Amino acid sequence: MQHKVTRIYNADILTPEGWIKNGSLLIENGKISKIMDSVTSLEDESNAQVSVDAHGRLLLPGFIDIHVHGGGGYDAMLGNTEHVHGMCRFHASNGTTSLLATTLTATHEEIISALDSIATAMKEEREPDGANLLGAHLEGPFLNPSRCGAQNPADLREPSIEEFDAFWSASQGTIKLMTIAPELNHAEEVIRHAVDKDVVISLGHTDADYETMKRATEWGAKQVTHLFNGMRPLHHREPGAAGGSLMLDQLAVEMICDGIHVHPSLIKWAFDIKPEGKVLLITDSMCAAGLSDGEYVLGKLPVIMKQGKVYLKQEDGTEGGLAGSSLTMIEALANAVKFTGMDIADLVPALTIYPATQIGVQDTKGTIELGKDADLIIVNEQFKVCQTFVQGSRVFDCES
């Protein structure tokens, strides 16, 4: 059983009000119970069964990845709870303390199986040993074949309330986010139906024009899936899906911040022009994340990972288009600092409180504040995750 009171000290703590230098905090029953600066006396430090010296490193809120398919050899689509738990353990070692296990376009039965395993894993009562599973992100099958990317075109289909309801039932109501192309037949009614169930709608793998993107926000869409990737690009006479994503302030945009999917200068530009809280960093990582280069499978599609880049494998064995990523959230943060020149404190919310707010968990997660879940990471100056805590349980220690 996890110790109920933990003290973390000698840390530079990032709070919503700014940094607390050489600070400390107490965790009780999985919640942050006290945050102290260097001059505050620790009257009750003797109550702590565990004391963790951060050695002057950064103490940050844990990352929340709302678009992740797998990692460490694990795959959310395999309909296997151990794969779901495995990907949660892998990403916890890279700073993620909460995630949405993300599906791919597949047959009806395969998606049902994946959603069932995600719901089962989510509702199992167990001591935390990896990132907290917050639910499912349904990416596909309601996507545009002309912008399918690494989604299997053979299994794409038009939106259907009946099929969505089958997915909803299999997920036991744990679908938190759905990617859909708004220009497809019946998209409007499916979007409105899902919004009524408090599912966040993200527009993606879409050939929508600007006007369709704008209408989709009126139907309830709040987000865009991996900005610039899998969508009609910006044109000066027709802003397209990419232009709509940037121009419609009510839309938050996901970005894969690896410098491969989006040019570093465009990443900086998105931060410059989108309103505060509307840029969300994600990994979109697949099972090969954290593994060596080689050949893998994304859904039913063969892929090649070379120097960390994941490509579809063509019939002749050559490299095709990009197929997900091998990115981790701590790498995304490090890249964002490099690409934008922004301060860490200004970028961390794009990996924490902003995604938390998108999916409605901001009251318990996303920042270091009293009463919130103790989802925390200790990070050194080289952007290496040293320790990860999920609801107060230490689930990763780089020295263990």
Active site residues: 284
The set of residues, in sequence order, having a beta carbon less than 8 Å from that of 242 and lying 6+ positions away, is 227, 228, 231, 232, 233, 234
Residue 123 class from Cβ within 10 Å (0-12 exposed, 13-18 middle, 19+ buried)?
Answer: exposed
Return the HEC string of 116-181.
Answer: HHHHHHHHCCCCCCCCEEEEEEEECCCCCHHHCCCCCHHHCCCCCHHHHHHHHHHCCCCEEEEEEC
State the Cα–Cα distance between residues 77 and 74, nearest whole angstrom: 9
Q: Cα torsion for 313, 316, 319, 323, to the nearest 10°? A: -20
CA-CA-CA-CA torsion sign (220, 161, 354, 209): negative
Decide if 392 contacts 27 (C-beta within 8 A). yes
For the stretch 194-198, contacts whose Cβ atoms lie closer than 8 Å and that sit 24 or more positions apart, written own/partner, are 194/164, 195/219, 195/220, 197/168, 197/173, 198/360
Q: How many other C-beta atoms are found inside a 10 Å radius of the C-beta of residue 21?
A: 11
Q: Six-digit token pair at 277?
A: 């809280």
Residue 231 class from Cβ within 10 Å (0-12 exposed, 13-18 middle, 19+ buried)?
Answer: buried
Q: Give, for 245, the enclosing helix (H) or strand (E).
A: helix 240-247
**Geometric angle at alpha carbon 162, from 159 and 166, rounded to 5°:** 105
